[in-house]
């Protein structure tokens, strides 16, 4: 567990950025859908230009979010939820393989669950 908490020094800023990007992308996707309706309805030039800008920002944000998740996973952790910044760390607990569970906003890893349970099965350490 100490090893996983130490990894949080690197994982935390990546997960925070990942979660922030996911929320921003959700908003951008809604705007993009609205712009599709506007452009499809009357072909308004400003909406078409804004659609291109939003699409470009979504592409860039998606690449950055995926890169954050990739860096977290390269450290041996498992990204479980992009928006919550939920990350599991494989570990052994009393000889059993478990997942130490952490999410953005928590100071340290304080929960665990079995390999077959998810967030709803979290138990305090």
Nearest Cα to Cα of residue 105 among 78, 86, 81: 86
Question: What's the pTM?
Answer: 0.87
Rounded Cα distance, 25 and 55, in Å: 10
Q: What string of pLDDT tens digits covers the 125 residues of the chain?
A: 788 889 999 999 999 999 999 999 999 999 999 888 877 766 666 788 899 999 999 999 999 999 999 999 999 999 999 999 999 999 999 999 999 999 999 999 999 999 999 889 999 99
Helix H, strand E, coil C: the string for 4-24 is HHHHHHHHHHHHHHHHHHHHH
* Rounded Cα gap, residues 120 and 106, in angstroms: 16
Rounded Cα–Cα distance for residues 17 and 103 (Å)? 12
């Amino acid at each position: 567990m100490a090893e996983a908490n130490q990894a949080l020094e690197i994982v935390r800023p990546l997960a925070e950025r990942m979660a922030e990007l996911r929320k921003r992308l959700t908003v951008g996707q809604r705007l993009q859908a609205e712009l599709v309706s506007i452009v499809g309805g009357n072909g308004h030039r400003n909406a078409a230009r804004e659609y291109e800008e939003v699409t470009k920002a979504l592409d860039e944000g998606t690449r950055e979010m995926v890169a954050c998740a990739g860096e977290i996973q390269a450290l041996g952790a498992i990204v479980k939820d992009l928006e919550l910044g939920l990350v599991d760390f494989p570990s052994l607990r009393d000889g059993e393989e478990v997942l130490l569970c952490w999410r953005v906003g928590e100071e340290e890893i304080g929960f665990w669950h079995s390999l077959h349970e998810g967030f709803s099965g979290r138990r305090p350490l």
